């Protein structure tokens, strides 16, 4: 199969980063392999149970001692869903019993209060994200109560500065609820669509009429949300080029600011709901590559720019502008415009990033409640980064977000000679150079247009932990 360059519509003032993404089917098929998504480095599978609550307290104390505290990013995990979507790999609890949410909310507010007291005096929030599960499983009154609680304990940047986002399931919210979410302080909204085709929806147990989705998007526009994002998935059962093409046409007509196109990772050994998917109905590897090619082609022609990984945005969107200006960041919620923040996360399984540490909460409700009843933050595991971790995290962040890294800048920030320190990695990188994924000179490592779709492969070269992870597919395919 031959390579074809798919141009991205952009104004002449935009840099080469916005001019094209090259889809090389042969290369993508040959180099696709299991690998991390690098929402963190070290990745979460390196976290240790030897890191606990007291280590986290030390990290916060360290931030306070150093002074000049950075703004905060808050994440709240609402794990509940009404029904199970078979493709889902999130930490969620499927229940119709609303009392469970009321109990969880009481404990979540307790955790938020403990974090708020810890960060007292250095608690200005510039970013807030509600994920799940389905955050709008909480009733309108419960959400209002939780937002008021957050505002009592943290100082929020003005609406025009802060990025306050929530994931919604269009099947669970009315236009009125969308307006209420805006009034409660959210200014960005993300909707799961996946695929509009009725047969695909049946195969993954997510029946979602197009009209419902359109009404939520229209309501978000009417309510004054600053950004509307839509999530799609390719590689689902019964999905074809025709179904995904029709879905793309409908989504483009809705005119969202951002579109995420995720590759479905079928890992039933890790995620029980996926065992309900009929594997014989999954598209082939070649079909999935053709779907990805179609997504890039259609979205490019519609004027969206390729941000990286699975994300596309309008050239005027904050993400595209941040990438253009070198300010783009990547964390557990994906790409972000607020790079210089400590991330404080609350709820079951949520991951925080404070100072030079990562910490993850327990994953079950019982363990979560038990630790909070003992007046302890419900931290199960984490990691304290070494200088090597910090160096590699910086390098991987730059590659993931900007597709290039300045070697002199790294040498200035860290006590290393780049070529000596990364001697073995550079030998691996030369293989990717021969495939045309990257170029390297004395000052820059630059990911090529055909390498951008395989950015995870490039980053994996610099991941010191990969060799020690052992066998077994822990991660999704890189493409």
230-289: per-residue pLDDT in tens? 999 999 999 999 999 999 999 999 999 999 999 898 989 888 899 999 999 999 988 998
| 409 backbone dihedrals φ, ψ, rounded to 5° | -65, -40
User: Do residue 270 and residue 132 come from a single domain?
Assistant: yes
Last residue of a domain, one of 345, 366, 398: 345
User: Do residue 239 and residue 97 come from a single domain?
Assistant: yes
Per-residue pLDDT band for 461 (boundaries 50, 70, 90) equals: very high
Is residue 121 pLDDT above 70, yes or no?
Answer: yes
User: Do residue 218 and residue 316 come from a single domain?
Assistant: yes
Distance CA(431)–CA(417), nearest Å, equals 22
What's the CATH number where 116 sits? Answer: 3.20.20.70
Last residue of a domain, one of 315, 345, 375: 345
Does a structural domain hold residue 271? yes
Last residue of a domain, one of 345, 377, 409: 345
Does a structural domain hold residue 381? no
For 149-168, the pLDDT digits (tens) are: 999 999 999 999 999 999 99
pTM: 0.89
Distance CA(18)–CA(449), nearest Å, equals 10
Q: What is the pLDDT of residue 114?
A: 98
User: Do residue 22 and residue 88 come from a single domain?
Assistant: no
User: Do residue 211 and residue 257 come from a single domain?
Assistant: yes
Domain count, the chain: 2
DSSP designation for 70: P
Distance CA(63)–CA(42), nearest Å, equals 20
Distance CA(462)–CA(405), nearest Å, equals 12
User: Do residue 316 and residue 432 come from a single domain?
Assistant: no
Does a structural domain hold residue 353? no
Domain of residue 422 covers 4-36+387-467
Closest CA to 391 of 369, 366, 417, 373: 417
Q: What is the pLDDT of residue 476?
A: 61
For 318-353, the pLDDT digits (tens) are: 888 888 888 888 877 778 887 778 999 999 999 999
User: Do residue 109 and residue 169 come from a single domain?
Assistant: yes
Alpha-carbon Rg for the chain in angstroms? 22
What's the CATH number where 458 sits? Answer: 1.10.10.920
First to last CA, the chain: 17
User: Do residue 317 and residue 392 come from a single domain?
Assistant: no
User: Do residue 15 and residue 49 come from a single domain?
Assistant: no
Q: What is the pLDDT of residue 17?
A: 40
User: Do residue 174 and residue 283 come from a single domain?
Assistant: yes
User: Do residue 210 and residue 233 come from a single domain?
Assistant: yes
Q: What is the pLDDT of residue 1?
A: 33
For 170-187, the pLDDT digits (tens) are: 998 999 999 999 999 999
Distance CA(318)–CA(336), nearest Å, equals 9
């Amino acid at each position: 199969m031959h390579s074809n360059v798919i141009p991205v519509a952009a104004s002449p003032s935009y840099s080469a980063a916005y001019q094209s993404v090259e889809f090389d089917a042969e290369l993508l098929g040959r180099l696709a392999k299991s690998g991390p998504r690098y929402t963190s480095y070290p990745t979460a599978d390196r976290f240790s149970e030897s890191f606990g609550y007291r280590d986290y307290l030390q990290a916060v104390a360290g931030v306070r001692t150093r002074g000049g505290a950075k703004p905060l990013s808050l994440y709240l995990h609402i794990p509940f869903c009404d029904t199970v979507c078979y493709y889902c790999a999130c930490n969620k609890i499927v229940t119709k019993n609303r009392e469970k949410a009321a109990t969880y909310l009481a404990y979540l507010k307790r955790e938020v209060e403990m974090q708020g007291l810890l960060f007292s005096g250095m608690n200005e929030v510039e970013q807030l994200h509600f994920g799940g599960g389905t955050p709008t499983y909480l009733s309108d009154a419960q959400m209002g109560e939780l937002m008021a609680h957050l505002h009592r304990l943290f100082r929020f940047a003005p609406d025009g500065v802060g990025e306050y986002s929530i994931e919604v399931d269009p099947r669970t919210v009315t236009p009125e609820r969308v307006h209420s979410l805006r009034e409660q302080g959210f200014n960005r909204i993300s909707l799961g669509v996946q695929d509009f085709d009725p047969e695909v929806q049946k195969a993954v147990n997510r029946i979602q009429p197009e009209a419902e989705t359109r009404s939520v998007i229209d309501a978000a526009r009417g309510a004054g949300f600053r950004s509307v994002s839509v999530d799609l998935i390719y590689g689902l059962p019964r999905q074809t080029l025709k179904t995904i093409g029709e879905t793309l046409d409908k989504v483009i007509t809705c005119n969202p600011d951002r579109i995420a196109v995720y590759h479905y990772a079928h890992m039933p050994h890790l995620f029980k709901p996926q065992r309900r998917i009929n594997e014989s109905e999954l598209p082939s590897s070649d079909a999935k590559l053709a779907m990805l090619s179609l997504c890039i082609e259609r979205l490019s022609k519609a004027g969206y720019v390729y941000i990286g990984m699975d994300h596309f945005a309008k050239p005027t969107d904050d993400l595209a502008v941040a990438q253009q200006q070198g300010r783009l960041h990547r964390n557990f919620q994906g790409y972000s415009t607020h790079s210089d923040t400590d991330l404080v996360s609350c709820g079951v399984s949520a991951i925080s990033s404070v100072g030079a540490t990562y910490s993850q909460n327990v994953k079950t409700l019982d363990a979560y409640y038990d630790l909070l009843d003992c007046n302890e933050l419900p931290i199960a595991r984490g990691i304290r980064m070494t200088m090597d971790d910090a160096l590699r995290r910086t390098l991987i962040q730059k590659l993931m977000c900007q597709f290039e890294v300045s070697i002199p800048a790294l040498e200035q920030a860290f006590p290393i000679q780049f070529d000596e320190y990364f001697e073995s990695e550079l030998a691996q990188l030369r293989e990717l150079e021969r495939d045309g994924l990257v170029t390297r000179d004395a000052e820059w490592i630059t990911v090529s247009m055909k390498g951008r779709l395989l950015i995870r492969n490039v980053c994996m070269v610099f991941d010191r932990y990969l060799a020690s992870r052992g066998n077994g597919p822990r991660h999704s395919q890189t493409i």
